[in-house]
Each structure stands twice: as C-alpha cells, then as structure tokens.
C-alpha cells in the first residue's frame, strides 16, 4: 500500500529543513516533525524587544564554499558581521582569535610578527612536543604556554568538563592563529548573520511542507514509522537505537538570559571568560549580531555542563571512547536501508552550519 508520505523527517533543524526543501522540490511528499514547539533546532532565534535572540547559543554563519553561501542567501539577506570576540582573564582583556593583537597584549615588549613567532618558538621549545596527543599539547604547540594558560586551559576545561590533557587536539584547530593584526575569528571567505534572524530561513525552507510541532518521534514511534516510506532522522543516533550499546556523551549548555534596561552591556557580541573560576564560559549580547540600536539589551551567560538523559544535547564529545561507541551505532544504522541519519546528533559530529548544509545537499544528490 502506498504510504501517506515518501519521507518522514525527524527534526526541523537545519539538516532536516534542507532535506525537506530539496526533496519537496524533487516532487517527494515530506512530513517534518519536531518535538519542540518551534522549528529551527538549535539555530532558532526569537525576537525580543526587536532583538533576535539566539536562544540555543550564538550562531555565526561562515563558509568558504561559494555554493553553500549562495544557497543560504536564497533564504535571507546576510549582514557583514565579523565575529571578533574578546577574552577576559583575571580582569585583563585580550583579543581573539590568537593574532598579533593578542600577542602584543600578552607580551608587551614585542611588536612585530617576527618577535611573536620567536617568543612562541621559545615557549614551545621548553616542551619539545613532536606529535601532539591531546589538546594541551596541541595548544602549546600552536601558541606557547602563556597563551595556553590564560586563554585556553580554563575555558576549555569549563566547556568540555575535563582537562585539556584528556581532550582530542582537533578541537583547538578550529581556531586560527595569525601573525597579523586581524581579529576575525574565522578564516572563511564568507561570513555574516541573517538580518531578521535564523528562524525565517527554516520557515522559508518549510513553507510548503507538512509540519508537526510538539511531536516526539519516540512518544509515537510505531505510528511515525509507518507513515512514510523512508525516514531522515536528525536526533541523537544512540536514542534511535534505545541506547543499546550505552549512551554517547554530549555536552549540554544552560543559558541565563536577561533583558537589561540599558542600550549596551558589553560593547561586543561575544566576550569569553577564560579563567576556570568564573563559572560561565561566555556572555553573548545578542543585539550586536545585527548592530541593533534598541533601548534595551538582551544578554545570555553560557554555562556548560555534562549531559544526562532528558537534557538537550549540544556538542558531541568526540574522544576515542565515544567515537568507537558511535561506530557501533553506525554499523546498525547502515543496516537500515530506509532510515538515513543526518546532522550533528544523527552523525555525532561537531559540524558547523555550512557543513550541515553541504552534508544534506550531498545526501540528496546521492539519492
Ligand atoms: N577556545 C579556547 N578559548 C577561547 C575560545 C575557544 O580555548 O577563548 C577553544 C576551546 O577549546 C573550544 C574551542 O576552542 O572548545 C572551540 O571554540 P569555538 O569558539 O569554536 O566553539 P563553539 O563556538 O563551537 O562553542
């Protein structure tokens, strides 16, 4: 018997929405469901006092892939926001990412790229790390011990809930190290924030598509499994298999968001608090993503903590133990010819938004 839908898409986040949009364009009948009461997954933004609040954490779109940039620009106009966070360590301010501005702030006696390189080499030489095996070694190899201790060690331990010696090196490789006076946090060619927020992007993608919110796949699994010929599942892969090999580890984030009756709280979208003793990792001031001039401001303090059942998973913890566990689930997943797993949670990968779109488009092309 022909099913009501060709595709059930579990999760109305970026991966699910791109798949739904592309499949509908190809003539497939899609149903998108999401357990939340809104679309967008973690890129959801909500307008408060004229300010688009990044409810599940700051999202700054950046990519070097022209095709992906053009793709996302179909759904919103982007501004020219450039992420240039500031770090505060013991009351002192430093520029991020690690660039000449940071180096002269850390070592006031230097002023040229040559001198900065020399100073980092000197600090590195004290450690002789050939092949970095963990984040601490990788960080020292990149920027030396002083910057590691002031700007990386505490922040990373707070974000991941374990010391840098127990974390994989690749996490820190996300950040540029530059011997120029350039505070752009990303190396990508294209960068910006959608004017009016991210939710409109997902709304536009899902405009002509059947959508059920407040619909938890697991609360009604039998019903949802028979409604469509195929499933695109963007939730946590371990949950799909009822945690049969044990739960994968995630980090979750708690936001303390407040509206203040002042036009500007911190003068920047992102300020990181890099010392371990300050309990939050960063403060986001949402209006600065869109250069807002409102009378009020909305700020969010971000607290990172370990995930337990019932919490929202944000970051996969891609260490060896979890990657091996993920492989077990992946083998199970590959056996299911009518279910495809996608996105940060479905593929247990620390994806950025551009990568999510690329993966979704590649998947659709492969059909
Ligand atoms: N990081 C750091 N100090 C900072 C900012 C970042 O040590 O002030 C490190 C930290 O290990 C973090 C990683 O860089 O986990 C990636 O940071 P990013 O800002 O890319 O993380 P996201 O925005 O995805 O949370």
Q: Nearest residue CA, atom 11 of ligand 1?
A: 156
Question: How far is it, in rounded angstroms, from Cα 52 to Cα 288?
Answer: 10
The pLDDT assigned to 2 comes to 84
Atom of ligand 1 minimally distant from the CA of 274: 8
DSSP sequence for 133-166: -SHHHHHHHHHHHHHIIIIIHHHHHHHHSS-GGG
Q: 289 C-alpha vs ligand 1 centroid, how far in Å?
A: 18
C-beta of residue 232 within 8 angstroms of C-beta of residue 7:
yes
The pLDDT assigned to 1 comes to 73
Q: 116 C-alpha vs ligand 1 centroid, how far in Å?
A: 22
Identify any residues that bridge with 301 across adjacent strands, giving them in sequence order.
256, 283
The pLDDT assigned to 251 comes to 96
Q: Nearest residue CA, atom 19 of ligand 1?
A: 175
Q: 172 C-alpha vs ligand 1 centroid, how far in Å?
A: 7
Q: Extract the tokens encoding 205.
A: 């993608």
Q: 153 C-alpha vs ligand 1 centroid, how far in Å?
A: 10
Identify any residues that bridge with 45 across adjacent strands, giving them in sequence order.
54
The pLDDT assigned to 106 comes to 98
The pLDDT assigned to 347 comes to 98
Q: Nearest residue CA, atom 15 of ligand 1?
A: 156
Atom of ligand 1 minimally distant from the CA of 350: 24
pTM attached to this predicted model:
0.96
The pLDDT assigned to 174 comes to 82
Q: Which of 217, 245, 222 is nearest to 341 (CA)?
A: 217
Strands 210-212 and 30-33: parallel
The pLDDT assigned to 32 comes to 99
Question: How far is it, in rounded angstroms, from Cα 290 to Cα 334?
Answer: 42
Residues 6+ apart with CB under 8 A from 6: 23, 28, 29, 30, 228, 229, 230
Low-confidence residues of the chain: pLDDT under 70: none
- Cβ-based neighbour number of residue 295 at 10 Å: 9
Q: Extract the tokens encoding 112.
A: 């040229």
Q: Extract the tokens encoding 82.
A: 């450039």
Q: 150 C-alpha vs ligand 1 centroid, how far in Å?
A: 13
Q: Which of 112, 105, 110 is nearest to 87 (CA)?
A: 105
C-beta of residue 359 within 8 angstroms of C-beta of residue 250:
no
Cβ burial of 327 (10 Å; 0-12, 13-18, 19+) is exposed
Atom of ligand 1 minimally distant from the CA of 85: 8
Cβ burial of 247 (10 Å; 0-12, 13-18, 19+) is middle
Which of 145, 172, 276, 305 most suits a substitution to test ligand 1, by most atoms within 8 Å of the C-beta?
A: 172
Catalytic residues: 174, 178, 251, 282, 302, 350, 352
Q: Which residues, judged by CB distance below 6 Å to any ligand atom, belong to the binding site of ligand 1?
A: 87, 96, 151-152, 155-156, 159, 171-172, 174-175, 272, 274
Helix (H) or strand (E) holding 282: strand 282-285
Q: How would you label 297-324 residue by residue, b for 16+ Cβ within 10 Å and e otherwise?
A: bbbbbbebeebeeeeebbbbbbbeebbe
Which of 90, 152, 284 most suits a substitution to test ligand 1, by most atoms within 8 Å of the C-beta?
A: 152
């Amino acid at each position: 018997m022909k099913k009501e839908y060709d595709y059930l898409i579990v999760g109305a986040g970026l991966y699910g929405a791109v798949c739904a949009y592309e499949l509908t364009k190809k003539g497939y009948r899609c149903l998108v469901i999401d357990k939340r009461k809104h679309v967008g997954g973690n890129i959801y933004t909500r307008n408060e006092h004229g300010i688009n609040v990044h409810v599940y954490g700051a999202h700054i779109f950046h990519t070097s892939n022209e095709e992906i940039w053009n793709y996302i620009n179909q759904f919103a106009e982007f501004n020219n926001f450039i992420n240039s966070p500031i770090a505060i360590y013991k009351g002192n301010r430093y520029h991020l990412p690690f660039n000449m501005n940071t180096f002269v702030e850390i070592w006031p006696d230097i002023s040229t790229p040559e001198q900065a390189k020399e100073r980092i080499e000197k600090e590195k030489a004290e450690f002789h790390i050939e092949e970095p095996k963990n984040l601490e070694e990788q960080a020292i190899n990149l920027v030396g011990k002083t910057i590691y201790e002031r700007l990386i060690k505490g922040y990373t331990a707070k974000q991941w809930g374990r010391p840098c010696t127990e974390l994989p090196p690749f996490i820190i490789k996300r950040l540029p190290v530059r011997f120029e006076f350039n505070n752009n946090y990303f190396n990508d060619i294209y960068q910006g924030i959608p004017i009016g927020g991210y939710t409109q992007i997902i709304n536009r993608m899902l405009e002509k598509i059947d959508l059920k919110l407040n619909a938890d796949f697991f609360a009604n699994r039998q019903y949802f499994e028979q409604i469509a010929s195929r499933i695109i599942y963007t939730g946590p892969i371990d949950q799909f298999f009822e945690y049969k090999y044990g739960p994968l580890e995630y980090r979750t984030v708690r936001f303390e968001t407040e509206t203040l009756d002042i036009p500007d709280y911190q003068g920047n979208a992102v300020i990181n608090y890099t010392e371990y003793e300050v309990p939050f990792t960063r403060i986001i001031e949402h209006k600065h993503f869109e250069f807002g001039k409102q009378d009020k401001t909305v700020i969010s303090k971000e607290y990172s903590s370990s995930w337990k059942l019932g919490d929202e998973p944000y970051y996969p913890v891609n260490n060896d133990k979890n990657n091996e566990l993920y492989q077990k689930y992946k083998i199970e997943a590959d056996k299911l010819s009518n279910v495809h797993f996608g996105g940060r949670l479905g593929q247990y990968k620390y994806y950025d938004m551009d990568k999510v779109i690329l993966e979704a488009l590649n998947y659709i092309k492969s059909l």
